[in-house]
Structure 1
Amino acid sequence: MSYDLAVWDGDRPGDDDQAGSAYDELYELYLKSDDVAVPPVPRIVAYVEALVARYPDDDRNVVWASPPVIEEASGPMVYLLMSYGKAEEVSGFAAALARGHGLICFDPQEECLRP
């Protein structure tokens, strides 16, 4: 079982409904299909590097449900799958880090923006 967050580069949606629509569109374009690999944009790469500097995605770590994290990135988006037991701690850090990098953080379970 995992707790998921989506982080993307773009303009901040005005509300949770707009964020949900943006998430659906980006997920469909960049993550749903394995047919076309799109390299992650530099801001997403920098974000993932900072995230795994704090929470490494090696075999000794049980934070990530799907390491390596960078493999869950495509174009302007990364989909984070974290173990449920670490979700509160890691998701708070991931959301704050996204904000610090000028990125959008969305919780697809709750269908809301993370502050």
Structure 2
Amino acid sequence: MSVELMVWDEPVPISRDQARATYLAVKRGDPVEGDVPDVAKELPGEVTLYPGHVLVTMDLDTMDESSAQVFTAARAHGLVCYDPQRDLVHNVAPLGVYQGMQLHTGDGMVVHDPDLGLIRDVLATLSPQNPFVALVSFGHHFIQVSPGYELEYKEGTMVRAVVPDLAEVQQAFHEYATGERGFLTRHSWAQA
């Protein structure tokens, strides 16, 4: 079994709906021959060229490692990357304030310097198949959440709070990523 990612240029950040529509429209077209873009030379797996788009096909067994390479290469070239399996779009910007911040999910995705829209969208995928989402600034602090909306935050001491809904989780992660700390005063925290 194989999985796909598609990369292309967009002048501004796009939504998951826009990325999905672009992916489906491109896949209805025919692949092209010709000069291979620089980004395609850096991508793992099988590369198929479409006008203005590069489709990467990978083995399911190596999806997590290969996807991380594709996300990194796309960002380095200023390209959008769409993941149709997870229905997630990786935009170039806007980013959080912590350079090198990592997004980790319980289903194996790791993204360095994730854009804020991706962080929001990933949180909506919490499920038994994706049992946690974490944003980590290694050596400094992190925030993570599990289904049931149990937040954990660590900067020195680990604290834990249960929040009422996904919107609160998304707001807390957004504040964390942008260097705000309103989530710490808005919720009741207990030492973990």
Task: Settle same-fold status: TM greater than 0.5.
Answer: yes
Q: Which structure has the bigger radius of gyration? A: 2
- Change in CA separation of 1:112 and 1:101 when aligned onto 2, cut-off 3 Å: same
- Change in CA separation of 1:111 and 1:45 when aligned onto 2, cut-off 3 Å: same
Aligned-residue Cα RMSD (Å) equals 2.1
Identity %, equivalent residues: 30
1:77 to 40, 46, 53: 53
Return the structure number with greater strand share. Answer: 2
**How is 1:16-95 mapped onto 2 (pairs within 5 angstroms)?**
16-31=16-31, 37=32, 39=34, 45-51=37-43, 55=44, 64=45, 67=46, 69=47, 72-95=48-71
Which residue of the partner structure matches residue 83 of structure 2?
107
Matched letter for residue 59 of structure 2 = S
- CA-to-partner distance for each residue in 1:29-66, whole Å, 9 max, x for gaps? 344xxxxx3535xxx61001122xxx4xxxxxxxx3xx
- CA-to-partner distance for each residue in 1:54-110, whole Å, 9 max, x for gaps? x4xxxxxxxx3xx4x3xx112211111111111101101101110110111001122
For this pair of structures, how many residues does the alignment match? 91
Report the TM-score when normalising by structure 1: 0.66
Structure of higher RCO (CA pairs closer than 8 Å, 6+ residues apart) = 1
Structure 1 alignment gaps of length 5 or more: 32-36, 56-63
Give the deviation of 1:6 after TM superposition: 0.9
| Alpha carbons 2:26, 2:50 under 8 Å: kept | no
Report the TM-score when normalising by structure 2: 0.42
Matched letter for residue 21 of structure 1 = A
Which residue of the partner structure matches residue 107 of structure 2?
none
* Cα distance in 2 between the residues matched to 1:23 and 1:13: 15
